[in-house]
């Protein structure tokens, strides 16, 4: 009976996790042409820039949520530690609230730099700043929600979180179509819709976590010792997150600083197409992260290595299919989707495709490494990649334009984590079979 329930839950997790990016992709397919026509290329490029800020603000999580998922997964089979779970979640939640207040104060020093750093028309600076603050509060609600999301993830109820995310995606598409289809909208309108949905998603997640597990992030549950204990392992995850942002989310900032917003709009549309495909493939390995952790800390090493090997093989197969589909049909699809004037040049799309294939393999290996806490060497490799990525992009954008930025990302990856992370993960997988049986390692 327990095995039947476990399998059913696994299928729900897998099905919903894979359905969510598909749903997001479908929503993007519907809304992008509408937004592009309503906002215009320049304002659409500004919205892409604001979304990039939202990603960079995620650094404030400092890796705590990744550590929280790992630690919750390690103790989820021990009912007597339920009180510890409450304390861990509350401590993460309220530390997130404190960081949000600090960032809000610091933002007043950053915002005046918009007109200096980015190619934003003077008449659009005020509306861009207003939209930025709306996006900032989107980040705050997402940041607070992340602590609660960790419960769904660590306790194998991720399908519940996905249901909320799916409903949010559908409602977002409906509101965007309703507001922008028949009239010329603004970036402020779009930011307001996204903030409204972020608040709804936070409330729904909070209510569901309370009803399902009785967890409420009470200030009395905050424990500074828990925060201190989580700090060191989180530091490594923070460094990886910083590197990942420099790798995946620096392109938009570089282009916005040196090239017109119209170029950023076209670049981002094509990049998002490959990014959706990549993140869909990533889901297969990310869904197994708690299980990787649980197997490792419970000394189920043969199962751990077998799962890792199958995950990598599946990732390679899916990445190859996605790359071939984008290579042969990508330009044709983009032309139908957003119009011939908004299609990125084929050489740039080809660079995106190569990047997709390589990063899918690296990511599957990286999830395994993070899940068993052996990520410190990867932190250094990712840091080198991030610095090299930004350096090459800044140099080549002046000489080669947008394709120089795309090449900077790909070449920096191939020279660093593109080979090191698969090598390191396979080495650790082999070592797992020789790990002595014993107590759960202390984190």
pLDDT of residue 15: 80
* pLDDT tens string 153-172: 767 787 888 899 999 999 99
* H helix runs in 287-416, sequence order: 289-297, 301-338, 346-371, 376-400, 402-415
Which residue carries 């769904």 as its tokens? 152
Mean pLDDT value of segment 365-380: 85
CA distance 280 to 313: 16
Name the most confidently modeled range: 63-67, 91-95, 196-200, 379-383: 196-200
| 218-222: average pLDDT | 77
Sign of CA dihedral 102, 104, 105, 111: positive
Residue with tokens 């090191």: 420
Please tell me the predicted confidence (pLDDT) of residue 438.
Answer: 43
pLDDT band at 116 (very low <50, low <70, confident <90, very high): confident
30-34, 48-52, 306-310, 386-390: lowest mean pLDDT where?
306-310
Q: What pLDDT, on a 0 to 100 scale, did the predictor assign at position 325? A: 96
| Residue that has been written with the tokens 């107590």 in this structure | 439
User: What contacts 24+ positions apart, CB below 8 Å, involve 85-88?
Assistant: 85/151, 85/215, 86/215, 86/221, 87/221, 87/223, 87/226, 88/226, 88/230
Residue 442 confidence (pLDDT) above 90: no
- Which of the listed ranges 200-214, 302-316, 398-412, 422-436 does the model predict with the highest average pLDDT? 398-412
CA dihedral for 278, 251, 373, 359, sign (positive or negative): positive
Mean pLDDT of 373-378: 82
Q: Give me the pLDDT at residue 1, please.
A: 47
Q: Cα dihedral sign for 253, 380, 422, 284?
A: negative
Burial class of residue 224, CB neighbours in 10 A (0-12, 13-18, 19+): exposed
Per mean pLDDT, which range of 128-137, 246-255, 349-358 is the poorest?
246-255
Mean pLDDT of 320-332: 95
What pLDDT is stored for residue 73 in this prediction?
A: 65
Q: Scanning the structure block, which residue is given the tokens 């991030």?
A: 386
* pLDDT tens for each residue of 184-217: 889 999 999 999 999 999 999 999 888 877 777 7
d(CA 298, CA 292): 10
CA dist 407 and 205 (Å) reads 40
Average the pLDDT over 41-45 and give the result.
93
Query: Once rounded to an integer, what is the mean pLDDT over residues 223-232?
Result: 75
Over residues 122-128, mean pLDDT: 89
Average pLDDT over residues 33-48: 93
Calculate the CA 391 to chain-centre distance. 23
Do residues 385 and 240 lie in contact, with contact meaning Cβ atoms separated by under 8 Å?
Answer: no
Q: Quick check: 440 pLDDT over 50?
A: no
Residue 419: partners with Cβ closer than 8 Å, 6 or more residues away: none
Residue 77 has pLDDT above 60, yes or no: no
- Alpha helices of 58-113 — where are they, by DSSP H? 64-75, 82-110
* 401: nearest Cα among 277, 223, 288, 266: 266
Lookup: tokens for 199: 């608040």
The SS3 call for residue 376 is helix
User: Which among 277, 243, 232 has a CA at the least distance from the CA of 67?
Assistant: 232
Q: What do you get for the CA distance between the two ends of the chain, in Å?
A: 33
Tokens for 115?
């007109």
Average confidence score pLDDT of the chain:
85
pLDDT at res. 306: 85
* pLDDT for position 305: 85
176: Cβ contacts below 8 Å, ≥ 6 apart: 31, 34, 35, 190, 193
User: Does the pLDDT at position 83 exceed 70?
Assistant: no
């Amino acid at each position: 009976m327990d095995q039947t329930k476990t399998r059913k839950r696994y299928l729900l997790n897998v099905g919903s996790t894979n359905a969510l990016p598909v749903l997001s992709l479908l929503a993007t397919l519907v809304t992008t042409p509408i937004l592009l026509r309503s906002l215009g290329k320049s304002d659409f490029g500004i919205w892409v820039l604001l979304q990039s800020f939202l990603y960079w603000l995620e650094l404030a999580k400092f890796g705590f949520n990744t550590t929280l998922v790992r630690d919750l997964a390690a103790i989820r089979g021990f009912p007597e530690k339920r009180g510890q779970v409450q304390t861990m979640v509350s401590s993460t939640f309220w530390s997130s609230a404190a960081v949000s207040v600090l960032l809000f104060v610091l933002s007043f020093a950053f915002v005046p730099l918009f007109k200096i750093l980015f190619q934003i028309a003077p008449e659009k600076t005020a509306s861009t700043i207003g939209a930025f603050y709306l996006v900032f509060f989107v980040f705050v609600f997402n940041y607070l929600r992340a602590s609660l999301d960790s419960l769904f993830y660590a306790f194998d109820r991720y399908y519940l979180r996905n249901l909320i995310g799916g409903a949010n995606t559908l409602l977002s598409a409906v509101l965007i179509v309703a507001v922008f289809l028949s009239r010329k909208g603004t970036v402020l309108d779009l930011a307001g819709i996204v903030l409204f949905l972020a608040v709804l998603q936070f409330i729904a997640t909070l209510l569901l976590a309370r009803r399902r597990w009785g967890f409420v992030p009470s200030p009395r549950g905050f424990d500074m010792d828990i925060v201190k204990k989580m700090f060191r392992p989180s530091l490594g995850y923070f460094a990886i997150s910083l590197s990942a942002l420099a790798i995946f989310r620096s392109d938009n900032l570089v282009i916005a600083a040196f090239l017109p917003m119209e170029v950023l709009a076209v670049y981002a549309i094509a990049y998002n197409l490959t990014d959706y495909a990549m993140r869909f493939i990533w889901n297969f390995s990310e869904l197994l992260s708690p299980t990787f952790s649980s197997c490792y800390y419970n000394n189920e090493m043969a199962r751990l290595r077998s799962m890792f090997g199958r995950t990598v093989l599946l990732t390679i197969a899916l990445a190859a299919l996605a790359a071939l589909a984008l290579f042969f049909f990508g330009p044709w699809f983009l032309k139908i989707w957003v119009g011939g004037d908004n299609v990125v040049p084929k050489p740039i799309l080809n660079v995106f495709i190569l990047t997709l294939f390589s990063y899918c393999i690296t990511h599957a290996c990286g999830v395994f490494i993070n899940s068993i806490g052996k990520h410190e060497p990867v932190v250094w490799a990712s840091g080198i990649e991030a610095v090299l990525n930004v350096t090459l992009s800044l140099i080549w954008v002046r000489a080669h334009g947008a394709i120089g930025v795309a090449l900077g990302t790909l070449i920096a990856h191939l020279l660093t984590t593109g080979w090191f992370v698969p090598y390191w993960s396979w080495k650790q997988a082999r070592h797992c079979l020789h790990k002595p049986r014993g107590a759960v390692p202390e984190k």
